[in-house]
Structure 1
Amino acid sequence: MEQLTKPQHKPGLLERHFSGESMHYRQIIALFLPILVDQIFVVGLNLVNTALVSSSGVDAVSAVNMVDSLNMFLISVFIAMATGGTVVVAQYKGSGDDRSVSKAAAASVAAVFLAAAGLGLVLAVLHTPILQLLFGNADPEVLDNARTYLIGSGISYAGIGIVQAVCGALRGVGKSRASLMLSLIMNLTYVLLNVVFIHYMDWGVNGLTVAINIARYAGAACALYYLFRMETTLRLHLVDLFRLQWTMLRRILFIGVPFAAEQLFFNGGKLLTQVFIVSLGTYALATNAIGSTIAGVAQIPGVALSLTLVTVVGQCMGRRDIEDARKFIRSFLWLASSTFVLMAALLIPLFHPLISLFDPPAAIVDDLYTLTLINLVAQIPLWSISFITPAALRAAGDSKFTSLMSMLSMWLFRVILGYILGIVLPFGIIGVWVAMNCEWGVRGAIFLWRYRGDKWYKHKLI
């Protein structure tokens, strides 16, 4: 008589694609969900803030959008360094070296704070020549508002730098829930103060400037308190921030400096594109500002997956488990593209109710709809390969290649093609955005080619 065998357990979809030797899908979900909620609040609050500023007129929203393009350019430098800290912390966590995890976290916070404070000081002191150089063609009313917001932004850099560094270290050890709470404290404080200062007190851009400083330094104070008093995994003390571990700092900078250079060139290209848009007029600036906000909403799940994958691949590489890393990268790419299908299906029917929050001039609504529709469709196949793949490669230590390719594609395709389509040819703001979508495709194809090879995981970071 044949012996009856017990049927084997068949793994489900999540277990097949999001579980491995390095990490189980339940751990990935626990890491991802707080980051997703964080992104929802960050983008949602940015949408509310843009709507609040819009109530002060087209000049105000154009000024804030101009300065924020410069802010993104500079803030990306110390966010890149914080990302370097996340990668090093995650790899040490994966290797089981808890003492080095603590040293890496301390070095990351100290380095990011110094970089942020230095950049903020330069921005606040040199605000007038910077504005004249970049946006001298803007209307005088726009420049006056931009000057106020630029000075305030520079003063706030040290605060947001501390928050980014602490949150990056926490994500590296898988404490994304604590990172979420710190981010929510800062961003909710910001939007609540904006409601008071802009909506009720009618302070306009002045109110926005005061709110951003209070919120960022309150967030920094909470981040440091949590790090020294409540966090048990990292076990840090204030004095640790003043004992710079040069070996550890070099490892962080190995990831952070190429990424910072990439972000400078990448966001420099976006900044130059913003200069193109200034020449198209205030309405084009407003179209770009509102369109960027809607695009940010569509990208919420994709950005959250990208941040999650840095920790996942970092811990895989700490174990030197290449097969797990490959599997997770592939699964995250497909999942992210699926989220863009979902977001497009949600946002296209909600377009008119959504833009009504900004009270846009009737003259820009048609261009705004065309721009949004093109971008939502282009994001489905192109965004994930262009942004999630390099995040994974960087987490494996392949920072120089990813940074170089990002810089070249930005300047050779987005900037030059954007100028041709938007300024030389009569496509205006639509042409600038189409050039951006084309650049995603070029960059994504290069990174997919790199991922299919073996050079990206040959780096030994720790």
Structure 2
Amino acid sequence: MGHPTSTASEQTLFRISWPLFIELALHMGMGIVATLMLSHYSDLAAAGVGVANQLISIFILVFNVTSIASMIIIGQKLGAEDLAKARQTARTAFGMNFWFGLIVSAVVVLFGSAFLSFFDLKGDTLAYATTFVKICGASLFLESLSLTLSAILRANGRTKVSMVVAVLMNVLSVLGYLVAIFGLFGMPITGVVGVSWTIVIARIFAVAVLFYFVYRYLAIRFTGTHLIKLNIQDIKDILVIGVPSAAENLSYQYSQIVITAIVANFGDASLAARVYINNISMLCYLFTLSIAEGTQLLVSRYIGGKQYDRALKRGLRTLKIAMVASFIVSMGFALTGAPILQMFTDDPAILAVGIPILWAVAFTEPGRAMNIVLMSSLKSAGDAKFPAIIGVISMWGIAVLLSYGLGVSFGLGLLGVWIAMGIDEWFRGIFAYRRWRSRPWEKKEKAAVPETALTQ
């Protein structure tokens, strides 16, 4: 990682973020395309896979957060121009996520059906969800490796490489979906089973290609030794950021399980509408996620190089861009209304529930942008506990409680749930803004100064 990373320290946000935008768009697009195609196969299949995918996402977070934490630590070491330690951290991250991935795959295969029971699914919807979880769950260790290798490339400024892999992976996936759902080329229609196996094949392909690019551009090899001999200090550094982040993200996913259970009581139309609008919402915060991740990379380098004013200004500039962009996009969807949802379904019951929710999305997304940008920037600065604490309090104290209160007690249904989630996003975003402006990294640096040095 010596020579290739030397040009990464002065990359602009645009140069880092545009490949991330395309990559995230393709990743999200793969889920949206699968949902869209399955909706033509069966609304119950689309709902079942949507809920099952929510469960799968919970387990992916176990190693996704360690990958992000690794990217931050590698970025800080590159900012401090400690290239040897950056390489060492990369290998440690790979070893950690290898074992996490195997454990998570085993847990999902063995207990996936039991976990799905929390969603209160029934009939064909439950059958479709179970099929998806069993097949895709077995390949989750491949997802863990893919996330780690992508994080290593991104930390070194190679965001275009992971973008290329995403493009190829999506082409492969779409072809597989077409065969599975529409029976192209004379193949039998296999529905959810075919879609699930397509995802497994795409993951195998992604890992193989990412291995190649990591070796080609960064000259890093991973051997069996790197899976056994992990650097203890690197593990500690990764976990300092990763554990609070995992707690925050897992808390969010579990709160969404509870909210999904609340929505399931409103009927199949509300459940399907939630799945479809969740996909539409992803398009609203796609731009935010890409520039937030680009900002995260830059902030980690600035903090590593002790360029604190530069880090502060970068976070605030990104915040303004993200909030404006998310508001414009979400308002566009709200104004468009029915034609957007009709891309997914013609069911009048689902349309009646879903169309008003698009206006609640326009309220939610600017707050989500504030939350995403500044909470991720705080983690890059080493302040990972604060986002976790505020997140857990808000998710359960606001999102879950208000979802029940507004949705059930006040009879607003899915609209009440979305308003509650919007209030949660704005609450966390405002606290993140105040924390970012307080420069928490300076407090950490003062605390790290030996007491004897302060008295000299």
Instruction: Kindly tell me the number of residue pairs found equivalent between the two proteins.
Output: 434
- Contact 2:288 / 2:369 at 8 angstroms: preserved in 1? yes
1:162-196 per-residue CA deviation (whole Å, 9 max, x = no partner) reads 11111111111111111212233333322221111
Q: TM-score, normalised by structure 2?
A: 0.91
Deviation at 1:282, TM superposition (A): 1.2
Question: For 1:97 and 1:66, how far apart are their aligned partners in 2?
Answer: 44
Matched ranges for 1:258-337 at <5 A:
258-337=244-323
Say whether residues 1:184 and 2:167 are aligned partners: yes
Question: For 1:445 and 1:213, how far apart are their aligned partners in 2?
Answer: 40
Structure 1: which 5+ runs fail to align?
1-21
Matched ranges for 1:131-150 at <5 A:
131-132=116-117, 134-135=118-119, 137-150=120-133
Question: For 2:439 and 2:27, how far apart are their aligned partners in 1?
Answer: 36
**Secondary structure at the residue paired with 1:358?**
coil
- Contact 1:138 / 1:279 at 8 angstroms: preserved in 2? no
Say whether residues 1:226 and 2:213 are aligned partners: yes
Deviation at 1:331, TM superposition (A): 0.2
Q: Which residue in the other structure is 1:173 paired with?
A: 156
- Contact 2:337 / 2:355 at 8 angstroms: preserved in 1? yes
Question: For 1:378 and 1:125, how far apart are their aligned partners in 2?
Answer: 37
Question: For 1:65 and 1:459, how far apart are their aligned partners in 2?
Answer: 42
Runs of 4+ in structure 1 off by over 4 angstroms are none
Matched ranges for 1:33-432 at <5 A:
33-132=18-117, 134-135=118-119, 137-200=120-183, 201-228=188-215, 230-232=216-218, 235-239=220-224, 241-242=226-227, 243-380=229-366, 382-432=367-417
Question: For 1:296 and 1:45, how far apart are their aligned partners in 2?
Answer: 12
Residue type at the aligned position of 1:181:
V
Residue type at the aligned position of 2:241:
I
Deviation at 1:91, TM superposition (A): 0.4
Q: Which residue in the other structure is 1:443 paired with?
A: 428
- Contact 2:322 / 2:370 at 8 angstroms: preserved in 1? no
1:272-301 per-residue CA deviation (whole Å, 9 max, x = no partner) reads 111111222211110001100110111110
Change (3 A) 1:128 1:41: closer
Deviation at 1:310, TM superposition (A): 1.0
Structure 2: which 5+ runs fail to align?
1-7, 449-456
1:367-407 per-residue CA deviation (whole Å, 9 max, x = no partner) reads 21110122124323x12221110000000000111111111
Deviation at 1:44, TM superposition (A): 2.3
Question: For 1:334 and 1:305, how far apart are their aligned partners in 2?
Answer: 11
Residue type at the aligned position of 2:89:
A
Q: Which residue in the other structure is 2:453 paired with?
A: none
**Secondary structure at the residue paired with 1:128?**
helix
Question: For 1:187 and 1:50, how far apart are their aligned partners in 2?
Answer: 14
Deviation at 1:221, TM superposition (A): 1.7
Residue type at the aligned position of 1:51:
L
Question: For 1:129 and 1:425, how far apart are their aligned partners in 2?
Answer: 32
Deviation at 1:345, TM superposition (A): 4.9
Same amino acid, percent of matched pairs: 22
Deviation at 1:48, TM superposition (A): 1.3
Deviation at 1:23, TM superposition (A): 6.1
Q: TM-score, normalised by structure 1?
A: 0.90
1:287-331 per-residue CA deviation (whole Å, 9 max, x = no partner) reads 001100110111110010111111010000010111000000010
- Contact 2:248 / 2:392 at 8 angstroms: preserved in 1? yes
Q: Which residue in the other structure is 1:16 paired with?
A: none
Question: For 2:151 and 2:443, how far apart are their aligned partners in 1?
Answer: 24
